[in-house]
Amino acid sequence: MALAARQSARAVAELQLPAENMQRSAASGPGSKAVLIVCLLIAAGRRQVEGRWEATGQQKEEEGDMERQEEWSGRLRPVIRRMRQARALRNGWWAVMAGLGAACLVLAAGRLWPIAGYRSAVWILPAVAIVAGLLPSALRRIPLQAAAALTDASGLEERLTTALRFRGDTSVFAELQRREAAERLEAWLAHGGLQAALPLQPPRRLWLSAATLAALLGLLLLLPNGQDAALARRQMDQAWIAEQQQVERLAAALAALPSPAPAVQRMAGDLSQLGKQLAPDTTGPEALDQLEAALQRLDQGLKDLDKQQLAAQAWADSWQRTALLRGIGEALARGDAAGVRRELGGVAEAVAGMTPQQQQLADELRRLAASAEAAAPGQTAAGLAGGLEQAAAALAGGDTGSAAAALQGLTAALGDAAAGRLALAEQRAVAGQQAAELAAGAGVQGGSGAGAQGGSGAGAQGGSGASAQGGSGAGAQGGSGADAPGGSGAGAGTGAGSRGLVSTPRERTAGGADPVLDSGPLGGGSGGTTSQAGSAAGVDGGSRPYEDVYADYAAEASSALNRSELPQNVQNLVRDYFLQIQPQR
């Protein structure tokens, strides 16, 4: 190719006119100018042809160089792979030694100062060191010149280095030299020269150093450390400080509730006292005892709130046993103060037109007045009881106008009772959540808690329900109680009893004698057929809905507890009993 280019250039040069002949032709005439133009065109064409020949030759040389480089890359690929493996192994051993050394330093420092989590360095530091050592080995490439230098140093006497340096030369001697280098490389690889030049095993000094560091690390781990006790004490102090802050926060949250119930106020006071008792100098067992006692008091406070909710629910249910007062009872159960005022206005209008003979409403109002303490303890309960007694007395005396006025005067008190019932439910939810957070933060199970309206932590549904046919047994009752400090109980009971209709006992005769039962045959008379007409509400010896019966007895029990001074454990037993047999369970 080069020879042809030189010949073409020589042929074009022969066509070029001397400069002085071109000047002479330009001065001689028009014909001479034409000759000059032709000469210029020939010179321009010659330069263009030379440029194309040079570009074509350079491109072909580059293509040939790339082909030869790819060829040598394939021949040296085993050498490059072995070099990368050896480098990764060497760097990995150094990384292991660095990680073990750093872990030993951290363990030694942990024996001088209390360092939190110093034992985790045994696993973290070697892992980080190994990753840091192997990552560059995997990402860093090995050039062909380095692989050629390794093979030449193993006996090939600079053959591969020379072949790579003159891989673009197309002379006969260069081709022969590259062919000889390739043959010597194949023979060197076939006879195990690569394995002998790069053995994949660490030097003796490396693995001995690593084994020594590993033994030292194990010794530091197994020997007891006096700083562990100091570290545990510091962590316990930090935990108690965090617990004290949590107790103070919970006490502030309970104290911030609007118009808190007495039980909630007692719970807030207990939490405040607990926060003061959890001083930094308090030992662990003492703090645990104080915390457990506080959790028990919180549990008792939650039970008191549940009992207040139960009493308020029973009082609201007792309004619903009379058709005229059922709307007020439903509004009280919902905590709807506006609904109570609306329903009470309608009741007052209806009472104004009643006849004096309707004594049942007066009796019902007296019963509600006796149990008003369950709705809203305090002045609100006193106002409710007084207003209801006044209305009942007016109805009994035939003064329906005064009874209507007395009922109208109960609007504010009943509205406060409804709002108080809703507020009590909210306070119970907040108090239960705070107690649960305290128990979870302390890691102490605070006994069994009573769920609000949904079930009790006590695991069995007791009592006996009298069915319409006289059967006994607890109705099928299931569920789990979500208590505040922890624990749950699933009520379980089976039986043939029912809470739908309950038989009411007959009253005794006026003389006090027992009733005489006639054992004669059924249907022996000449009367007509016997039919079942459902339940007769309020008739002695008939069947009444369980909700009505429960409301009566719950109201009477609440009234009796408020009138008499019974021991606290007896009062708790009575309240727990009515809590277990309430209709919603």
Cα-trace Rg, the chain: 52
Residue 160, pLDDT score: 86
Calpha distance 407→361 (Å, rounded): 12
CB atoms closer than 10 angstroms to residue 303: 22
Name, in order, each residue with C-beta under 8 angstroms of 121's C-beta and a sequence gap of 6 or more.
Answer: 102, 103, 106, 107
Integer angstrom CA distances of residue 126 from 103, 130, 312: 7, 6, 66
Residue pLDDT, tens place only, 206-257: 888 889 999 999 998 888 888 888 888 777 777 766 766 666 676 666 666 6
pLDDT category at 381 given cuts 50, 70, 90 is low
Burial readout 270-292 (b: 16 or more C-beta within 10 A, e: otherwise): bbbebbebbeeebeeeebeeebb
Residue 212, pLDDT score: 92
pLDDT category at 537 given cuts 50, 70, 90 is very low
The number of angstroms, rounded, from the C-alpha of 319 to the middle of its chain's C-alpha atoms is: 44
Amino acid at 332: L
Phi, psi of 450 (to 5 degrees): -100, 125
Q: Please indicate whether residue 119 or residue 42 has the higher confidence score (pLDDT).
A: 119
In the predicted model, what is the mean pLDDT of residues 370-375? 55
Residue 154, pLDDT score: 84
Q: In the predicted model, is pLDDT for residue 475 greater than 50?
A: no
Residue pLDDT, tens place only, 301-311: 667 767 776 77
Calpha distance 330→339 (Å, rounded): 9
**HSE-CB for 307 with a 13 A CA cutoff:** 21
Integer angstrom CA distances of residue 291 from 200, 266, 301, 449: 63, 16, 15, 16
Residue 18, pLDDT score: 46
Residue 448, pLDDT score: 36
Calpha distance 515→185 (Å, rounded): 125
Calpha distance 30→263 (Å, rounded): 129
pLDDT category at 153 given cuts 50, 70, 90 is confident
Percentages (nearest 5) of helix, strand, coil residues in the chain: 70, 0, 30
Q: Please indicate whether residue 326 or residue 16 has the higher confidence score (pLDDT).
A: 326
In the predicted model, what is the mean pLDDT of residues 310-323? 71
Q: Please indicate whether residue 19 or residue 140 has the higher confidence score (pLDDT).
A: 140
Average pLDDT, the chain: 66
Q: In the predicted model, is pLDDT for residue 506 greater than 70?
A: no
Query: Helices 400-408 and 379-396 sit at what angle, rounded to 10 degrees?
Result: 160
Q: In the predicted model, is pLDDT for residue 382 greater than 70?
A: no
DSSP 523-551: T-SS----------TT-TTSEEEHHHHHH
- Output the pTM of the full model: 0.39
DSSP 75-117: HTHHHHHHHHHHHHHHHHHHHHHHHHHHHHHHHHHHTTS--TT
Amino acid at 21: N
Calpha distance 492→80 (Å, rounded): 76
Q: In the predicted model, is pLDDT for residue 163 greater than 50?
A: yes
In this prediction, what percent of the chain has a pLDDT beyond 70? 37
Residue 215, pLDDT score: 92
